[in-house]
Structure 1
Amino acid sequence: MAEIDHRLISRDSLFLMADLRSSGSVATERVKVRNLSAGGMMAEGAENPVRGTLVELNLRNIGWVQGEIAWVHGNRCGIAFNEDIDPKLARAPVVGIESPTLVRAAQSMRRAPLRKL
Structure 2
Amino acid sequence: MADSHNNDDAGQVAPNQPERAKRDSLFLLAEVIRETGEPMGNAKIRNLSATGLMADCDFAFLPGDRLVVDLRGIGPVPGVVVRATAMRMGFQFDREIDPQRARKPVSSGEQSKVPLYLRYLSTAAQFKR
Offset of residue 74 of structure 1: 1.9
- Look up the match of 2:31: 19
Answer yes or no: is 1:75 the counterpart of 2:84. no
Q: 1:20 to 1:10 in 2, by over 3 A?
A: same
Count how many residue pairs are aligned between Structure 1 and Structure 2.
98
Larger Rg: 1
Amino acid at match of 2:25: S
Query: Which 5+ residue runs of structure 2 have no aligned equivalent?
Result: 1-9, 111-129
Does the residue aligned with 1:43 lie in a helix, a strand or coil?
strand
Structure 1 stretches of 4+ moved >2 Å: 5-8
Answer yes or no: is 1:45 the counterpart of 2:23. no
After TM superposition, list the pairs within 5 Å mapping 1:49-68 onto structure 2.
49-68=61-80
- Look up the match of 1:101: none
Does the residue aligned with 2:13 lie in a helix, a strand or coil?
coil
Amino acid at match of 1:33: I
Distance across 2 between alignment mates of 1:49 and 1:28? 10
Offset of residue 25 of structure 1: 2.0
Q: Would the aligned equivalents of 2:60 and 2:88 in 1 still touch at CA under 8 Å? A: no
Q: TM-score, normalised by structure 2?
A: 0.69
- Look up the match of 2:102: 90
Distance across 2 between alignment mates of 1:22 and 1:69? 11
Offset of residue 8 of structure 1: 2.2
Q: Could you give the per-residue CA deviations for residues 9-55 of structure 1, whole angstroms, max 9, x where no partner exists? A: 11000000000011112324111000000000001024120110100
Percentage of matched positions with identical amino acids: 35
Query: Which 5+ residue runs of structure 1 have no aligned equivalent?
Result: 99-117
Offset of residue 2 of structure 1: 6.1
Distance across 2 between alignment mates of 1:88 and 1:19? 18
